Amino acid sequence: MESTPPSATAPTCYRHADTETHISCTRCERPICPDCMRDAAVGFQCPECVREGSRTVRQARTVAGGRISAVPLVTYALMAVNILVFLGEAVFPGIVDRLGMLGIGLVGPDGAAYVYQDAYPAAFHAEGVATGELYRLLTGAFLHLPPSEGVFGIAHIGLNMWSLWNIGRIVESQLGRVRYLALYLIAALGSSVLVLLIVPENQTVGASGAIFGLGAAYYVIARRIGADMSGVNRFMGFLLLWLLIASRFTSWQAHLGGLLTGALVTLALVYAPRERRALTQGVACVGLVGLLMVLAALKAAALT
């Protein structure tokens, strides 16, 4: 059956010239057919007006100026990296000694690790951040006690991933993905630097330093947005109590370094002025990273 040609007097859709219509876009008033109709607050709009409206509507932002996202993708990614590295430790257990955070240590001719001493046999050689292995400042934050440690290794990564899941989702939703990732990495760096400054001969691994940074961020953000602080204060009290209790069998230096660094980064992110906010935040973060690296370099020079 042949289609009936459009009437010469009836209006046709501006995008489909062979389709009659008596409906117009409420914004540009051009005729549109049912295929081109898009629901609007009043009536219908054409696809072009909908796209133009989307470009002119101001996007909602987080308290730090980041894009709002409902799915905590960065938290998922960080958890996935930590878990994959943990599984990798079962296959290559030597990566813990090779990539763990260590200011300075000794490696014997048999490949075993020893505590650093000022005078050591020629068959030994030094290793650690002080010998130029700066990558340890970050790689140690993605390592945990290996699976060979049994229940202690599983508990180590299990507790850290549980904490990251609970705190990370909240902080990421308040900062946005890019700023949240910057906070995590800089807190991990600050955690390692304080270990280097105080106990350079100790090897540390784990994401807890960065997670303590997220805990500090949670507190700063709650103060910034005027949230009910009763529950937040209880959380911080528990965090500080855990810092004291766990100091008997974990690195309190790593936890404290992450806590302080995370607080500083978050203060810069959420209290930056709206004018040139991204520039101010970037300068503050880069400046803090620079300061941490200078402190690390000075300590490394003193050790060698």
**What is the CA angle 65-277-192, rounded to 5?**
80
Give the tens place of pLDDT for each residue, 256-271.
Answer: 999 999 999 999 999 9
Q: Cα(220)–Cα(174) distance, rounded to whole angstroms?
A: 11
Q: Please report the domains of the chain, with CATH numbers, ordered by start residue.
A: 1-48 (no CATH), 73-299 (1.20.1540.10)
More confident residue, 144 or 112: 144
Is residue 24 helix, strand or coil?
Answer: strand
**What is the CA angle 184-162-102, rounded to 5?**
50
pLDDT value of residue 6: 52
Q: Which of 164, 148, 135, 147 is nearest to 72 (CA)?
A: 164
Q: Cα(124)–Cα(112) distance, rounded to whole angstroms?
A: 10
Is residue 125 helix, strand or coil?
Answer: strand
pLDDT bucket at 57, cuts 50 / 70 / 90: low
pLDDT value of residue 76: 97
pLDDT value of residue 167: 93
pLDDT value of residue 113: 67
Give the tens place of pLDDT for each residue, 288-300.
Answer: 999 999 999 999 9
More confident residue, 88 or 40: 88
* Range scoring the smallest mean pLDDT among 124-133, 205-214, 270-279, 291-300: 124-133
Structure tokens at 192: 């390692």
Mean of pLDDT values over 45-62: 74
Q: Are 36 and 44 in contact (CB under 8 A)?
A: no
Query: How crowded is residue 68: how many other Cβ atoms within 10 Å of its Cβ?
Result: 11
Give the tens place of pLDDT for each residue, 217-251.
Answer: 999 999 888 878 888 889 888 888 888 887 777 88
Contacts of 20 by beta carbon, 8 Å cutoff, 6+ apart? 6, 7, 10, 11, 12
Residues in the chain: 304
Q: Cα(204)–Cα(212) distance, rounded to whole angstroms?
A: 15
Q: Are 192 and 241 in contact (CB under 8 A)?
A: no
Mean of pLDDT values over 96-107: 88
Give the tens place of pLDDT for each residue, 160-207.
Answer: 999 999 999 999 999 999 999 999 999 999 999 999 999 999 899 999
Mean of pLDDT values over 101-106: 87
Structure tokens at 34: 């049912």
* Range scoring the smallest mean pLDDT among 73-77, 156-160, 246-250, 271-275: 246-250
pLDDT value of residue 114: 67
pLDDT value of residue 1: 46
3-class SS shares of the chain: helix, strand, coil, % to 5: 60, 10, 35
Contacts of 170 by beta carbon, 8 Å cutoff, 6+ apart? 218
Tokens 């910034």: give the residue: 224
